[in-house]
């Protein structure tokens, strides 16, 4: 993903979630995805999807049961 794309998606996520600590960074050796961090903690992967002339970005985040508070 290009730097301008990463910046645009990062700006969108920060605004959407009201959190300026969200960072979107390029993945080494991967052109179609990026890593998403909350501060220094990795929280998920962002995939670029170009299909039938449409462009979208899909955010995937796994939540471990051990991370959930009872």
Number of domains in the chain: 1
Q: Is the pTM of this model over 0.85?
A: yes
Local confidence band at 13 (pLDDT 50, 70, 90 cut-offs)? very high
- Please list, in sequence order, all residues whose beta carbon lies within 8 angstroms of the beta carbon of residue 54, skipping any fewer than 6 positions away: none
Convert the pLDDT of each residue in 35-54 to its tens digit. Answer: 999 999 999 999 999 988 89
Convert the pLDDT of each residue in 58-70 to its tens digit. Answer: 999 999 898 898 6
> Which candidate, 58, 52, 63, 10, places its Cα nearest to that of 32?
58
* pLDDT at position 56 over 90: yes
Convert the pLDDT of each residue in 22-36 to its tens digit. Answer: 999 999 888 889 999
The CA-atom distances, in angstroms, between 10 and each of 4, 44, 45, 52 are: 10, 13, 12, 25
Distance CA 66, CA 25 (A): 26
Query: In terms of residue numbers, what domain contains 9?
Result: 3-67
């Amino acid at each position: 993903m290009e730097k301008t794309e990463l910046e645009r998606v990062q700006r969108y996520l920060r605004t959407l979630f009201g959190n300026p600590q969200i960072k979107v960074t390029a993945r080494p050796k991967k052109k179609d995805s990026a890593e998403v961090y909350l501060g220094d903690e990795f929280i998920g992967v962002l995939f670029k999807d170009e299909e039938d002339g449409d462009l979208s970005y899909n955010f995937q985040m796994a939540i471990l049961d051990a991370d959930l508070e009872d």
